[in-house]
Chain A
């Protein structure tokens, strides 16, 4: 049973300035499934469509972003929703924060700088469920905070009094207060140091183990994916290049882009020269024909320039979009 099923999703930014229209194809034909009780990673460079994908699946579609085709279906136990046809009111009341919550990169912008942390909790809880008994509410928040291993004092602090790592953990605590089925974490540790990053990611893993929900972790850092997620999707220029369990991605990457991403990572204890890819990430307003990676690919063939490769299964749970890779008969 899937938690979320995304089929052939296309989401474009369409702008029109002085009669010149421009379409940025940020998400172009993406299909994937999320299952309950897993940590799923999305990797890719900036402007490969990661954030647009999250926006669309969490129901934050505002012009100039528009969903052109595809479907997004959630199954929360007995309650199913179609994200593209849900009313804003229902989304706000029953889905957002209760079933699908969101942890952003800069926790500073989530927390109100002039209000104590407990007030921010109050604001969020009150928006979704009226607080009738304040004592009970405080009890509940304290219990929640302690369960996540944060000291109770943070509730009476202002955001600036906390360190960056603590703020990010408070943001995660806020996102999990209703125990949602899906937590989307967009680059949750990018601004943090390695030691703090480790602490925050450990907390995310703990929460997942504790409540068995699903986490969608978006980051460009392949090393984080290697240590945290169960399955990874590699995005390139608005499309899925490869999707597989973490072990397979790192031990036997099939797409040339994935291979490069993994081989170019510097490691402590190894100083051989690492090359970078030629060219630059494509402009999504005018993407290359055929396989979007062909301009930078070291193994480019004639067929890559004209034909778009399909995302085909090669092994169980392992899908690749590359002309070099033949579809396996499963």
Chain B
């Protein structure tokens, strides 16, 4: 496949942070040699899942060009993000890639009415030249998420429910008619009875608006429900990736296995096995600093080589696994 066909192409990206003072201190590799891509012609939902501190958010900042990679590059529609220098070019890029954040109440200023915010967004992205036109643009975006301008006009964020504000936040992202939406934990702050509404909305956007979504979450159950492909992150690495049904129905990497086992089933039938004891990581920094596979300290199938060299990527059908157990297949 040629590069121009890809919507988003992340190539061997590494981000390093320096911790500590000017002298001494240590390096923390937050994203470690990560590669994945999204096709341009077929919209899909790609999930990045992992524990907190696994590098999910750092990776999303890279994709939004909020952070430059230490090594490697991120291509959007064939263009390297680090070559975007001018303000106007950045604005063009922002029009195509839009974020949806975790807490909808922090997305909007509590002192401004949400409709004013949405109309400003439309004007700033040149989606409309006059105020009247922008009203139409905003209303269209809101209708895509099952609301209308009438419902939200003259309302402050606190006057809407969590689910509504999160839908408005998705509508805001849709105003510029993006090709890619980056949703960082979009449902974790939304009430249980409204959560599926937002999750279903992403499915609808993919199928009807042809928008690709990078869905960042730690909730494997919703990830399984909406996504096409999934990448499991651990301490900066993507340890396993592939079609979501393959990866979660039959995980290969020992970490994915542990992760899947730890998701509590919403039925009281497996109480005993779920309460079996597991090893927990002591502190985050310790695992980041580990040489070789970051999971070696907790892995039940650990071998000597795991503690010495970073495991290479192994291709197994549609799946990529970073583990020595599958090296020979």
Stretch at the interface among A49-57, A98-106, A125-133, A193-201: A193-201
> What residues of chain B lie closer than 8 Å to A286, measured between beta carbons?
none
What distance in Å separates the Cβ of A51 from its nearest Cβ neighbour in chain B?
14
Stretch at the interface among B76-84, B87-95, B119-127, B276-284: B276-284
**Taking beta carbons and an 8 Å cutoff, which residues of B are in contact with A?**
51-53, 161-164, 191-197, 199-200, 218, 220-222, 224-225, 248-249, 258-260, 262-268, 270-271, 274-275, 277-278, 280-284
Question: A205-B275, A280-B163 are contacts. A193–B52 as well, Cβ < 8 Å?
Answer: yes
> What residues of chain B lie closer than 8 Å to A193, measured between beta carbons?
51-52, 218
> What residues of chain B lie closer than 8 Å to A197, measured between beta carbons?
262, 264
Q: Which of A195, A281, A296 contacts B280 (CB 8 A)?
A: A195
**Taking beta carbons and an 8 Å cutoff, which residues of A are in contact with B?**
45-46, 151, 161-166, 192-199, 201-202, 205, 220-224, 226-228, 246-247, 250-251, 260-262, 264-269, 271, 273-277, 280-281, 296
A274 to B271, CA, bound (A): 24
What distance in Å separates the Cβ of B264 from its nearest Cβ neighbour in chain A?
4
What distance in Å separates the Cβ of B192 from its nearest Cβ neighbour in chain A?
6
What distance in Å separates the Cβ of A98 from its nearest Cβ neighbour in chain B?
28
B266 touches A46 (CB 8 A): no
What distance in Å separates the Cβ of A196 from its nearest Cβ neighbour in chain B?
6
What distance in Å separates the Cβ of B225 from its nearest Cβ neighbour in chain A?
4
A276 to B161, CA, bound (A): 14
Closest residue of B by beta carbon distance from A160: B283
What distance in Å separates the Cβ of A169 from its nearest Cβ neighbour in chain B?
9
CB < 8 Å A-B pair total: 140
Task: Give 8 new A-B contacts, CB below 8 A, not counting A205-B275, A221-B192, A274-B225.
Answer: A162-B283, A197-B264, A220-B191, A223-B221, A264-B196, A274-B200, A276-B200, A280-B161
B191 touches A281 (CB 8 A): yes
A195 to B263, CA, bound (A): 8
Question: A161-B283, A194-B218 are contacts. A227–B191 as well, Cβ < 8 Å?
Answer: no
Closest residue of A by beta carbon distance from B54: A193
Question: A166-B282, A193-B218, A198-B264 are contacts. A280–B194 as well, Cβ < 8 Å?
Answer: yes
A267 touches B262 (CB 8 A): no
22 A-B pairs (CB sep. < 8 Å): A163-B282, A166-B282, A193-B52, A198-B274, A199-B280, A221-B192, A221-B264, A223-B221, A223-B263, A228-B271, A246-B268, A247-B268, A250-B268, A261-B192, A266-B222, A266-B225, A268-B220, A269-B248, A273-B200, A275-B200, A276-B194, A296-B193
What distance in Å separates the Cβ of B12 from its nearest Cβ neighbour in chain A?
26
> What residues of chain B lie closer than 8 Å to A271, measured between beta carbons?
224-225
A262 touches B220 (CB 8 A): no
A227 touches B262 (CB 8 A): no
B249 touches A281 (CB 8 A): no
What distance in Å separates the Cβ of A297 from its nearest Cβ neighbour in chain B?
12
> What residues of chain B lie closer than 8 Å to A164, measured between beta carbons?
52
> What residues of chain A lie closer than 8 Å to B200, measured between beta carbons?
273-276
A203 to B282, CA, bound (A): 15
A276 touches B284 (CB 8 A): no
Closest residue of B by beta carbon distance from A165: B280
What distance in Å separates the Cβ of B74 from its nearest Cβ neighbour in chain A?
26
A268 touches B224 (CB 8 A): yes
